[in-house]
Structure 1
Amino acid sequence: MRLLITGANGLLGQKLLDRLHRQPGVALIATGRGPFRLAEAYPAVPYVPLDVSDAAQVAAVLRAQQPTHVIHTAAMTQVDDCELHPDECWLHNVTAVDILARACAALGVHLTHLSTDFVFDGSHGPLAEDAAPNPISHYGRSKLAAEQAVQATPGLRWAIARTVLVYGVLRGGGRSNIVLWVRDSLRAGKPINVVSDQWRTPTLAEDLAEGCWLLARQSARGIYHLSGRELLTPYDMALQVAAHFGLDAALITRVDAGTFTQPARRPARTGFIIDKAERELGFRPHSFEEGIEIVAAQA
């Protein structure tokens, strides 16, 4: 298998490289925008600069590298930025996906595409794969349009991996996560306000990488929900972090989402039912407590 990863500098891209750089029978090709942040860690993994929104560049790179599989992790994922810059969001999250899907179809390459719980409106959850999407933000609309582009591409072998509230440690910094934010705030004696009226099934980045690998390895077809099993609010998560590190939970104030002014609406209740991924792929995510341990060991 020749496996090309887009967005190799991002959180999921890094975790895929961590997981697969020694996998027998797998030749990795890392791609991304800008220089390769993991060049020292993985000198044997070739890196190719790639702007997925450039159709000619995508076609040239795929022809040159001849992957059998692509895992597409590159996207514009900051929800408020997508709301404020809708054209840029559409370029990176929809146009680029359509370009990549068509190029993969032309060359017989299996595509695993990453999507999100934000394709749902948050009226209920947890959700199975056959739940009806109804996004309430521009980010969510862009990700649903990308899913539709993948599914509509003639001749494409595809899997769509939807996920929820991914947390993990990004090498080189630049991105925090709820575990480290709560830990570091409480260690500094800083009071924090944490939302208690949004529900998610938080996903450890290492688990998401494993799920994407399982999809690619099996050349799976269809939509799969990949997340943790536990339905938690951010407030629940913060209390678990405080308990794990023996920190003062009295510094955590329970608030509702209306406390914060944000450009983009967030779905109130999502979370995923992951029975299909467990049954068909053998997907086995860590508990949130185990995820705290893994994150803590890295930062």
Structure 2
Amino acid sequence: MNESSKKTILITGANGLLGQKLVLQILEEDQFIVIPTGLGDCRITDLRAKDRWKSLDITNRDEVLDLFESFKPDFVINTAAMTNVDICEAEKNTCVKLNIYGVNNLIHACETLKSHLVHLSTDFIFDGEAGPYSEEDAPNPVNYYGWTKMKAEENIKNAKIKWSIIRTVLVYGIANDMSRSNIILWVKNSLEKGETLQLVNDQFRTPTLAEDLAEGCLLVIKKQAEGVFNISGKDLLTPYDMAIATADYFNLDKSKIKKTNSKAFTQKAKRPMKTGFIIDKAINNLGYSPKSFMDGIGILSKQLKLANS
């Protein structure tokens, strides 16, 4: 396909886990031009991504508009957010600046350039009293992070733009130069050291493989699907369940994994107890097909071997 007929996708937060997976998937597609953006230097190892990288702070309205006017993106995938729930509770001004005002800047630029905004949201907009949730269920966040994500959704829905909101749950995976671990790597590493682990068995999630989430985002763009879509894993699990599955896969000592409940931990921000998503809409309307949690562990295992080879 010649360059002039290709659609341009601009990605914010492209140094993050989902951002990196998206950039790498889009680079393998012939029908798109990808513009990866984020704070600081590009952490993606692919030289094609490094060549196209643009520094962008979404909280700077002029910077956002200037970049949009330079590239005139057909689609914008916003993965940039402050997502550490406890830090959001402690640093509310920073949280609202990125999660609400930053999104408002993207909305403004999308209105100006007629770009379609694909925005990533979260299960934490719900209170966890009646999960798993469908796209139609009413939000009722129990922490500040969830409140900012709900407000961003409201602002997008009220904007005069084409929009898609992709809600997801507990994303896991391996990306380049990432400081944050995930539950699979943490359990594996801890059990290999012979440590005893305590994991809650009263919180439920549908953990999402980062590659599946990236694929879901691309399906939305390819079908130019508008509205809200739940894109997550299909297995409803507790952290304890996830730890046991990890131990099973890597043939590690399950007896070191102990059940506990949420009351045993003191955390600054309240967590919803049972979220997880009903993903029938994405399966039926988009052709979305997520991996099982066990298959996800297998994919991570292969990536670990490649990274260490």
Which category describes the TM-score, using the shorter chain as reference length? over 0.9
Q: Per-residue deviation at 1:116?
A: 0.1
Instruction: Give the SS at the match of 1:180.
Output: helix
Alpha-carbon separation, structure 2, partners of 1:259 and 1:101:
41
- Other-structure match for 2:58: 52
- Other-structure match for 2:226: 221
- Is the Cα contact below 8 Å between 1:29 and 1:45 reproduced in 2? no
Hey, which bits of structure 1, 4+ residues long, moved more than 3 A?
A: 39-45
Give the partner amino acid of 2:287: G
- Other-structure match for 1:237: 242
- Is the Cα contact below 8 Å between 2:234 and 2:290 reproduced in 1? yes
Matched, 1:143 2:149: yes
- Other-structure match for 2:307: none
17, 30, 35: which one aligns with 2:36: 30
Q: Per-residue deviation at 1:40?
A: 4.7
Alpha-carbon separation, structure 1, partners of 2:142 and 2:276:
16
Give the partner amino acid of 2:282: A
Alpha-carbon separation, structure 2, partners of 1:147 and 1:170:
27
Against the structure 1 CA distance between its residues 253 and 8, is the aligned structure 2 distance closer, same or farther, given a 3 Å change threshold?
same
101, 109, 114: which one aligns with 2:107: 101
String of CA shifts for 1:38-76, please: whole Å, max 9, x gaps.
155435650110000111010000000111100000000
- Other-structure match for 1:80: 86
- Other-structure match for 1:68: 74
Alpha-carbon separation, structure 1, partners of 2:60 and 2:49:
26
Alpha-carbon separation, structure 1, partners of 2:51 and 2:216:
21
Q: Per-residue deviation at 1:216?
A: 1.6
Matched, 1:9 2:11: no
TM-score by length of structure 1 reads 0.98
- What is the correspondence of 1:1-299 to structure 2 with a 5 Å cutoff? 1-43=7-49, 45-154=51-160, 156-299=161-304
Q: Per-residue deviation at 1:218?
A: 1.8
Against the structure 1 CA distance between its residues 170 and 44, is the aligned structure 2 distance closer, same or farther, given a 3 Å change threshold?
closer
Q: Per-residue deviation at 1:130?
A: 0.3
Alpha-carbon separation, structure 2, partners of 1:186 and 1:44:
37
- Is the Cα contact below 8 Å between 1:112 and 1:161 reproduced in 2? yes
Instruction: Give the SS at the match of 2:48.
Output: coil
String of CA shifts for 1:212-263, please: whole Å, max 9, x gaps.
1111222211000000111110101100000111100010010001111110
Q: Per-residue deviation at 1:173?
A: 2.9
- Is the Cα contact below 8 Å between 2:132 and 2:277 reproduced in 1? yes
Instruction: Give the SS at the match of 1:42.
Output: helix
Give the partner amino acid of 2:26: L
TM-score by length of structure 2 reads 0.95
Alpha-carbon separation, structure 2, partners of 1:209 and 1:255:
33
CA RMSD of aligned residues (A): 1.0
Give the partner amino acid of 1:214: L
Could you tell me which runs of 5 or more consecutive residues in structure 2 were left unpaired when the two chains were aligned: 1-6, 305-309
Instruction: Give the SS at the match of 2:107.
Output: helix
Q: How many residues align?
A: 298
Alpha-carbon separation, structure 2, partners of 1:38 and 1:229:
28
Give the partner amino acid of 2:29: Q
Q: Per-residue deviation at 1:99?
A: 1.1
- Is the Cα contact below 8 Å between 2:209 and 2:233 reproduced in 1? yes
